Amino acid sequence: MPKRIETGGATVTFTFDGRPVTAIAGDSVASALAAAGITRLRDSVVSGAPRGIHCMMGACFDCLVEIDGIPNRQACMTLAAEGMTVRAQQGAVSVSEGGRA
Amino acid sequence: MRSVDVVVIGAGPAGMSCAVEASAAGLSVLVLDENPAPGGQIWRGIETATERRGRILGPDYGAGRTVAQAFRASKADYLPSALVWNISTEKVVEYSHRGASHQVQAGAVVSATGAFERPNPLPGWTLPGVTTVGALQILLKSAGLVEEDAVLVGSGPLLWLMAAQLVDAGVPPKAVVETTPKGRVLAALRHLPRALRARDYLWKGLALMRRVKAAGVPVHSHATGIRIEGKDQAEAVSFAANGRRVRIESGHIALHHGVVPNQQVTRLMRAEHVWDASQMCFRPVLSDMGETSVAGLFVAGDGTGIGGAKAAALQGRLLGLRLAARAGRSVAPERIERLSAGLAREGSVRPFLEALYAPPAWINAPEDATIVCRCEEITAGQVRAAVDLGAPGPNQVKSYLRSGMGPCQGRVCGLLVSQIIAAKRGLPPQKDDYYRIRPPMKPLPLTELAAYRPEGAK
C-alpha cells in the first residue's frame, strides 16, 4: 500500500473518473493517483489489458490519461491542478472532433 | 529567429553543470528541460524535498542542492517544462512549451538527457502495480510517497539503494530478489584493484546491503525464472532460487536491471553509435571533446555511457569549459586537468560494477510469449518470427509489426528488440541496429503543429 512519509502541505483536488482525489502541491497526476491507491490508469490499445504507472519519468507512456478532455496526456509529466477532470482511457482513443473517444 | 551559442537539453547533473560553466565564460546558453524543476531524475525534487526526505535520500542526493543553486544563480537562460521535439542538421532546435511550439538557432547543441532504466521483459511486467525501481525512487523524491510491502527484483546499485531508503523510511521492502548470477563476484575481482581508487563507492554499496539485511529484509540471491502473477493487478512474484520455487505476495513489484543511455537525441541526429559490450547498450561515438560524429552536437552525462551523477556533473563542467575555449574564451588549462582527473577517478569503479552487475543473459532474451513492445503489445516470439521471415534489423521488424511505433517511440523496447534480433544472428548488435528515430521525438497534438509557424517555412 502507498504511504506518504510526511503530513501537511497545501493540497489540490481533482477528479479521476468522477471520484475526488486529493493531491499534495507538487504532485504529478500520476503520484497523486498512486497515493490514492489507484493503480489502473488505462486499458491498452491493442488487447484492452489494464495498465498503470511504470517508469514515472516520461519514457514509457503507460500512464496516459485524459485530462480536461484531452486524451493521451502523460500523468507522470503533468502537475496536478485544482479542478482537473482526469479520466481513464479505455482501449483505443478514436480521433474524432473534439478529441474525445 | 532567436539565436544562442549553446542549447543544452536536460537540466540534470550534466546539463546544469555545463550551463553553469559555459555561461560563466560568457557564452549565451539556453537550457530546455522537460521537467518542471531542475535536477533531472537523480536529483529530482531537489529544490522542494523536505528535510525528512533529504535524510532518507542521503548526502549524494543532497549534493544536488549546491549544483541546482549554482545553476539558478548562473546567467544561463532556463526554460522548464520545455519539450524538444526536433533538431535540424542546421541545429535549429524546435520545442514545445505551454502548448505552443517555438524554434531557436543553436551554435552548439548539448544533449544531456541522461539515462533510462533497462527494460525488464518478464511475464506480467505490464500489469498495474509493476514499476521500475527508479519509479519507486521518483515517487519518494518528488512526492514523499513510499510503497509498503514492495518486492524489489533485479540487480545493480539502485536496487540496494532503494531497498535501504525504504528501510530508512520505515517501510522495509517485503523482500529483495537479486538476479545477479552466481560467479559474478569472482568475474568482477580482476577489476577490484582499479575500483579501489574510488573505494568509497564500494564501502557505500556494502553498507547499503548490510543495512537492508540488518533490518530483517529477506534477500533471495541468484533468482531466475521470474514471473509476476495477477489478473488486473500485480498480486505476487514467483521465482526459482536455491533449487526451489518461491512465491511472494505483493501488490507492488519493482524491477531493475541497471540504466542505459537515452539515445533519442543522438539517434534523431543520425550520430554514429557503438555497442558497448561491458555496459550492454549503445552509446554515441565521441571525440575527446565530447562531440558526436555530427558537427556541433555534443553529449555530456550518462548519455555518453553510464558513469553516475558525479561523473555526469564533471563531464558537464568539462564540456562547458571546452565549449567556451572553442569559442575563443580564456579557460585555465589546470581547471580542465583537475576536472579530467576527477572524472578518471569516478570512472575507475565502473568496470568492477559493470562486471558484477551486468544484466543476466535471460533478461535480454525473453520467452516467446512475453511482451517486449509494451505500447503495441508485440511479443518476443513475434519479433523472432519476423526475423525468420527475413526482417534483417529493427527497422524492418518495426515495419512488419509496429514494434517501436507506439507513443513511447521505442524508448522502452528499442534496446531489447536490437538484442533479440542480434541473438537470432548469433552476433552482438551492430552499430546501426536500432530504430530510426524521427521527429517529433514525443507525440504532439496536431493542433499545436498546425498552429506552429516556423521561420523560413514555405
User: What is the complex's ipTM, to 2 decimals?
Assistant: 0.96
CB B206 within 8 A of CB B213: no
Topology agreement, domain B119-257 and domain B365-453: no
pLDDT below 70 — which residues of chain B?
457-458
Which of B56, B131, B253, B382 to mutate to test binding with chain A, by most A CBs within 10 Å of its CB?
B131
Cβ within 8 Å of B, A 40-79: 40-41, 44-47, 49-62, 64, 70, 72, 76-77, 79
B169 lies within 8 A of chain A by CB? yes
User: What angle, rounded to 10 degrees, do the helices at B157-168 and B133-143 form?
Assistant: 40
- The kind and range of the H/E element at B265 are helix B264-268
Note the CATH architecture for domain A11-91. Answer: Roll (3.10)
Grid cell of B270 as nine digits: 543520425
Q: What is the pLDDT of residue A99?
A: 46
B149 lies within 8 A of chain A by CB? yes
Task: Domain ranges for chain B, please list them.
Answer: 2-116+260-331, 119-257, 365-453
Nearest CB partner across the interface for A49, out of B126, B149, B262:
B126
CB B21 within 8 A of CB B320: yes
Q: b or e along A60-86 (b: 16 or more beta carbons within 10 Å of the residue's beta carbon)? A: bbbbbbbbeeebbbbbbbbbbeeebeb
pLDDT greater than 50 at residue A101: no
What does DSSP assign to residue B171?
-
Q: What is the largest CA-CA distance in chain B?
A: 67
User: What residues form DSSP beta bridges with B6?
Assistant: B29, B108
Q: What is the pLDDT of residue A100?
A: 45
DSSP helix/strand/coil, B261: strand
Q: What is the pLDDT of residue A91?
A: 81
Task: Domain ranges for chain A, please list them.
Answer: 11-91
Cβ within 8 Å, pair B147-A2: yes
CB B321 within 8 A of CB B21: yes
Angle at B12 between CA B118 and CA B113, to 5 degrees: 50
Q: What is the pLDDT of residues B390-446, one digit of tens each?
A: 999 999 999 999 999 999 999 999 999 999 999 998 988 988 899 999 999 999 999
Report the C-alpha gap between B161 and B166 in whole angstroms: 9
Report the C-alpha gap between B144 and B159 in whole angstroms: 18
In the numeric block, the cell 516556423 is attached to B454
pLDDT greater than 80 at residue A93: no
pLDDT greater than 90 at residue A2: yes
**Count of other CB atoms within 10 angstroms of residue B338:** 14
CB A55 within 8 A of CB B130: no
For B95, list phi and psi in degrees, rounded to 5: -145, 160
B233 lies within 8 A of chain A by CB? yes
Q: b or e along B109-144 (b: 16 or more beta carbons within 10 Å of the residue's beta carbon)? A: bbbbbbbbbbbbbbbbbbbbbbbbbbbbbbbbbbbb
Top-level class of domain B365-453: mainly alpha
Instruction: Note the residue count of chain A.
Output: 101
Grid cell of A19 as nine digits: 471520484
- The kind and range of the H/E element at B298 are strand B297-299
Closest CA to B273 of B148, B437, B138: B437
CB A40 within 8 A of CB A52: yes
B50 lies within 8 A of chain A by CB? yes
Grid cell of B3 as nine digits: 539565436
The residue type found at A60 is C
Report the C-alpha gap between B62 and B46 in whole angstroms: 7
Q: What is the pLDDT of residue A7?
A: 86
Distances (CA, A) of B349 to B195, B210, B284, B312: 4, 20, 21, 14
Which numeric CATH code is attached to B2-116+260-331?
3.50.50.60
Q: What is the pLDDT of residues A32-87, one digit of tens each?
A: 999 999 999 999 999 999 999 999 999 999 999 999 999 999 999 999 999 999 99
Q: What is the pLDDT of residue B159?
A: 98
CB B1 within 8 A of CB B455: yes
Q: What is the pLDDT of residue A96?
A: 58
Cβ within 8 Å, pair A55-B135: yes
For A34, list phi and psi in degrees, rounded to 5: -60, -45
Sheet with B236-241: strands ordered across: B224-229, B236-241, B244-249
> Which CATH code, of 3.30.420.40, 3.50.50.60, 3.40.50.150, 3.20.20.140, is assigned to B119-257?
3.50.50.60
User: What residues form DSSP beta bridges with A95?
Assistant: none
The residue type found at B281 is C
What does DSSP assign to residue A76?
G
CB B120 within 8 A of CB B239: no
Work out the pLDDT band at A1, boundaries 50, 70, 90.
confident
Report the C-alpha gap between B5 and B430 in whole angstroms: 34
B48 lies within 8 A of chain A by CB? yes
In the numeric block, the cell 543520425 is attached to B270
Q: How far is B405 from chain A (nearest CA, A)?
A: 12
Nearest CB partner across the interface for B131, out of A26, A56, A72:
A56
Can you spell out the DSSP letters for B186-255? HHHHTTHHHHGGGHHHHHHHHHHHHHHHHTT--EE-S-EEEEEE-SSS--EEEEEETTEEEEEE-S-EEE
CB B92 within 8 A of CB B105: yes
Residues of chain A with C-beta less than 8 angstroms from the C-beta of B262:
59
Q: How far is B319 from chain A (nearest CA, A)?
A: 25
Closest CA to A63 of B334, B131, B201, B399: B131
